[in-house]
Structure 1
Amino acid sequence: MQFSESLDFDHDDRKRIYEYVERHGEVGAEEARERLRVDPGGFRHHVAILKRDGYLEERDGRLRAAFDAGATEEYEVEGFEFVIRPARQEDLSGIVGAIRRVAEERTYIVAESVADEIDHDEALLRHNELESRMFFVATVGDGETQAGSDRPVGGPGDDVVGWVHLHAPELDKLAHTAELTVGVLDEYQGHGVGSHLLARGLEWAGANGYEKVYQSVPSTNEDAIAFLEGHDWETEAVREDHYKIDGDYVDEVMMAVEL
């Protein structure tokens, strides 16, 4: 299912099933049927249609919302290997951990609020009548280490070392915009991971009909501002003394890029 597609259900039970699964991230099929009090035959029929139409997918008897977010991409930069792929529900704790580490190291307030939100939410990815939320992650292997380094060897592993997140309210007047956060753990910077994540996120936004992507950072986060400026983002406004960090008032820099 593309996020740009409107949610169109022609049966109330079908809509209830999708909304229950989407809200919980992943649920057992039998648990969902019992909670929704749908008869077994009708439930199987509705799930089959939701799977056929690309709304749900099923794995080992568990249902989750299906999102068509593209393929896994593998990269190697000077011997360092990493993967960028659409996030999965099971990445939630890894993403929260990565965001919080970056937020501590770089003062990334918007991203920190994203971590708090998904940490208290059962679902990582969302697409409903109120909002859409998508993540892509950068991962490396978790076994051996790079020669001469303490860093794990990259590859199709499951250690989340970076993320890009896009959030968009499903409101007509804001339907052309999405908010983005992106970050990479300090020890994995310098290999183009952040640039590839940013490009993947903007590619997804453009494919789903968004015309403008924006984010805000404290003026003290000079590395983030320079990174975005280096990728053709522009400062749209500055709100003076918007943040109070460690007792000091700090400006908010509001940045955006047109797609």
Structure 2
Amino acid sequence: MELAEPPTFENRDRSDIYDYVERHGSARPSEIRAALDMEERAFGHHMAILKRDDVLEERDGMVRIAYDQEAEEEEFHAEDVEFTIRQARQEDLTGLVGAIREAVGEKTYVDAETIADVVDSEGVLLRHNDLESRIFFVATVGDDVVGWVHLRHPELDKLSHTAELTLGVLEEYRGVGIGSHLLERGIEWAASQGFEKIYNSVPSTNEEAIEFLEAHDWETEAVREDHYKLDGQYIDEVMLAKEI
């Protein structure tokens, strides 16, 4: 499923079904049909077409935005850690939000902290509408989310070639290559969508993140002085970018 452009529908009912699922993240078919006050036979017909076209999918009785099933999971072995990197699913939401908040507990990654708050309040991971598209890939150890990479694409013509990226790994899992593999997956996805440039902004106090990105050929494009106020202190924002 390509996210560079939101899907368009010639049929209003199919558009309404998609919009409902996109807003809610996942829902039972009966819930969607009742909310839209749609006749059962017509609803079944439209759902069949949306599934056929890989726009929506149904798993465990829940309808959600269709996820890319190609190369969905990659397994890696590093030292004593075995981890998997894959596209995040709606059911990862709670673990992902918890991982982001734990990873940025020192409050040196404001954008990631904001993303966690937004996703938690909305209850939706994947966004793909007329205003924005967002996608997550996660690193998991067993059933636990231990890292993530997030890309957000504003649906504006003037910014159609760019995407914003955030990334993080729980402290106890750093230093074994998880962050590098997540970053690689995020860049690969962005390139496959036709993006030309990705951005990441962090407070200047987050030296570890800046060094990590610079080691992966990111460059500082600008510094906004005193952009953040953290614990009463004014902190510069470092804006990094990478062409892909």
- Confirm or deny a common fold (TM above 0.5): yes
* CA distance in structure 2 between the aligned counterparts of 1:68 and 1:76, rounded to whole angstroms: 24
* Offset at residue 12 of structure 1 (A): 0.2
* CA distance in structure 1 between the aligned counterparts of 2:104 and 2:60, rounded to whole angstroms: 36
Name the aligned partner's letter for residue 178 of structure 1. Answer: A
Residue pair 2:107, 2:113 contacting (<8 A) in 1 also: no
* Offset at residue 84 of structure 1 (A): 0.5
* SS state at 2:184 partner: helix
What is the RMSD computed on CA atoms of the aligned residues? Answer: 1.1
Q: Deviations over 1:130-173 (max 9, x none)?
A: 110100000002xxxxxxxxxxxxxxxx2000000001111111
* CA distance in structure 1 between the aligned counterparts of 2:5 and 2:48, rounded to whole angstroms: 19
What percent of counterpart residues are identical?
63
* Offset at residue 59 of structure 1 (A): 1.5
* Offset at residue 106 of structure 1 (A): 5.7
Give the 3 Å change call, closer, same or farther, for CA 13–112 of structure 1 in structure 2: same
* CA distance in structure 1 between the aligned counterparts of 2:75 and 2:107, rounded to whole angstroms: 27
* CA distance in structure 1 between the aligned counterparts of 2:220 and 2:129, rounded to whole angstroms: 31
Moved over 4 A (4+): none
Q: Does 1:224 align with 2:206?
A: no
Matched residue, 1:4: 4
Name the aligned partner's letter for residue 125 of structure 1. Answer: L
* CA distance in structure 2 between the aligned counterparts of 1:85 and 1:21, rounded to whole angstroms: 22
* Offset at residue 108 of structure 1 (A): 0.6
Name the aligned partner's letter for residue 19 of structure 1. Answer: D
Residue pair 2:6, 2:128 contacting (<8 A) in 1 also: no
Residue pair 1:72, 1:84 contacting (<8 A) in 2 also: yes
* CA distance in structure 1 between the aligned counterparts of 2:184 and 2:55, rounded to whole angstroms: 26
* Offset at residue 102 of structure 1 (A): 1.4
Residue pair 1:179, 1:213 contacting (<8 A) in 2 also: yes
Q: Which runs of 5+ in 2 are unaligned?
A: none
Q: Does 1:140 align with 2:125?
A: no
Residue pair 1:33, 1:39 contacting (<8 A) in 2 also: yes
Q: Does 1:233 align with 2:233?
A: no
Residue pair 1:219, 1:253 contacting (<8 A) in 2 also: yes
* Offset at residue 60 of structure 1 (A): 2.9
Give the 3 Å change call, closer, same or farther, for CA 53–5 of structure 1 in structure 2: farther
Matched residue, 1:167: 152
Q: Which runs of 5+ in 1 are unaligned?
A: 142-157
Residue pair 2:198, 2:241 contacting (<8 A) in 1 also: yes
Name the aligned partner's letter for residue 137 of structure 1. Answer: V
Give the 3 Å change call, closer, same or farther, for CA 195–106 of structure 1 in structure 2: farther
Q: Does 1:247 align with 2:235?
A: no
* Offset at residue 99 of structure 1 (A): 0.8
Between the two proteins, the alignment pairs up a number of residues equal to 243
Residue pair 1:29, 1:62 contacting (<8 A) in 2 also: yes
Matched residue, 1:109: 110
Q: Does 1:212 align with 2:213?
A: no
* Offset at residue 105 of structure 1 (A): 3.1
* CA distance in structure 1 between the aligned counterparts of 2:76 and 2:104, rounded to whole angstroms: 25
Matched residue, 1:47: 47
* CA distance in structure 2 between the aligned counterparts of 1:90 and 1:256, rounded to whole angstroms: 31
